Amino acid sequence: MPEFVPASRVSRIKSSASVAAAARVRELKAEGRRILDLTVGEPDFDTPEHIKAAAVEAITRGETKYTSVTGTPVLQKAILQTLELRTGLHYTPAEIAIGGGAKQVIFTAFMASLNAGDEVIVPAPYWVSYPDMVLANDGTPVVVPCGEDSEFKLTPGALAGAITGRTKWVILNAPSNPTGAVYSRAELRGLADVLAVHPHVSVLADEIYDQIYFGDGKLASLVEVAPELKDRVLAVNGVSKAYAMTGWRLGYAAGPAPLIAAINKLQSQISSCPSSVSQAAAAAALAGSQDFVRDSVETYRKRRDTAVAALNAVDGLSCATPDGAFYTYVNCAGVIGKTTAEGQVISNDQDFTLYLLDAASVAVIQGSAYGLGPYFRISYATSLDVIEESIAAIDKAVQALI
């Protein structure tokens, strides 16, 4: 058999840092170590019973066959009603795509739109998959650092400075993974004003955490603030985070019909259609009671407040209070340059996260994986007991540094 040589698109991307971190935690646990895991980017709650019941009922009715690539009429209706409720805008079935998770929809959108040399503006800190998705589809990621001075958000000036004649997309992820940052209506208006001057630039608005928001009312979206940009915005969402349905793999997007048609053409060749059973469950999630969402957000709020207060009490660490999602992005500049009891210098955030895993049995993800250090990300999609025990162990480990 000839030696296997991966295609260039495989060679130019990295494995997901968050997936790798989760895999390492599983390995250590299998070896018998007790690891306090703050890496997991999924709710620790079970899928609500009425959603599971809808899936069982669909199976019982025999809804286990192929569906249209564009989804079942019931799910289409639920998505369209959800979009109108959240944005105030009317979308048609020709303007929505449904896939095996929001992640697949984003990848397919880049596959449908990018040619070699096309640029995608990626504000950092970014979700770890964005740059590699762009690279895998022949595009060029243009990373724009967005530090604490801008609350980890893209500013109009930074956006204007990054746009070139080759810019195809700008990614806006809010609430953000990894920082939990959100954009106000005024901030979105400022970005929209820049985009108005550059009609060749589209926006991929990753809104997967939009219901996990700690502010008043509902989170503002770009198409709601600037409806004139509707034909240039692909709004991506799904049921994974808000409804504790990560394993159901059901995501969707709303955007201009020509782009949606291209995404659906690719989807027809990739997987034919999303899971019929997951579609039934997703329709029940979107159209049914939202009590679970409200209750879980209040639980996340309590966990956030506990985590932020405890982390800011650790000498050498600091973090802002996130406005959404279930992550905190922790500044660890105060420990860089210190030395462990074994004489190892903590030179960067990756050194520090490895030290925490070894010395405190606490798993977190280094900020460099998200394009901006020295930070680390914790997820508070876990119990208060685990959060409190983990941060106490982090504090003890930091105190042991010289």
Judge if 225 and 102 occupy the same domain: yes
Same domain, 379 and 268: no
Cis preceding-peptide flag for 93 (omega within 30 of 0): no
Q: Are residues 365 and 271 in the same domain?
A: no
Same domain for 223 and 312, yes or no, is no
Give the total number of structural domains in the chain. 2
Is residue 319 assigned to a domain?
A: yes
Range of the domain at 15: 8-46+292-399
CATH code, domain carrying 33: 3.90.1150.10
Q: Are residues 53 and 40 in the same domain?
A: no
Same domain, 39 and 53: no
5 burial type by CB count under 10 A (0-12 exposed, 13-18 middle, 19+ buried)? exposed
**250, 272, 287 - which closes a domain:** 287
Instruction: Indicate if 40 and 117 belong to the same structural domain.
Output: no
Instruction: Look up the CATH number of the domain holding residue 101.
Output: 3.40.640.10
Residue 300 sits in the same domain as residue 344: yes
- The contacts of residue 20 (CB under 8 Å, 6+ apart) are none
**Residue 57 and residue 26 share a domain:** no
* Per-residue pLDDT tens digits for 85-136: 999 999 999 999 999 999 999 999 999 999 999 999 999 999 999 999 999 9
Residue among 99, 80, 49 nearest 250 (CA): 99
* pLDDT for res 23: 77
Q: Would you state the pLDDT for residue 368? A: 95
Place of tokens 């646990």: 29
Instruction: Please tell me the pTM assigned to this model.
Output: 0.95
Separation between Cα atoms, residue 124 and residue 173, nearest integer Å: 10
* Pair (61, 32) in one structural domain: no
Of 257, 287, 317, the position where a domain reaches its end is 287
Place of tokens 């959100």: 182
Q: What is the pLDDT, as a whole number, of residue 29?
A: 81
Task: Provide the pLDDT for residue 350.
Answer: 93
| Structure confidence at residue 25 (pLDDT) | 80
Identify the sign of the CA torsion 103, 353, 324, 149: negative
pLDDT digits (tens, 9 = 90+) for 302-341: 999 999 999 999 999 999 999 999 999 999 999 999 999 9
42 & 55 share domain: no
Final residue in a domain of this structure, among 237, 272, 287? 287
89 and 218 housed in the same domain: yes
Identify the burial level of 287 via C-beta atoms within 10 angstroms of its C-beta, where 0-12 means exposed, 13-18 middle and 19 or more buried: middle
Taking the chain (402 residues) in consecutive chunks of 10 residues, what is each chunk's mean pLDDT? 86 76 79 90 96 98 97 98 96 98 98 97 98 97 98 98 98 98 98 98 98 94 98 98 98 98 97 97 98 98 98 98 98 98 96 94 96 98 98 98 96
- Residue 1 lies inside a defined structural domain of this protein: no
Q: Let me know if residue 219 belongs to a domain.
A: yes
Looking at residue 1, what is its pLDDT? Answer: 61
How far is 330 from 320, CA to CA, in rounded Å? 8
Does some domain include residue 3? no
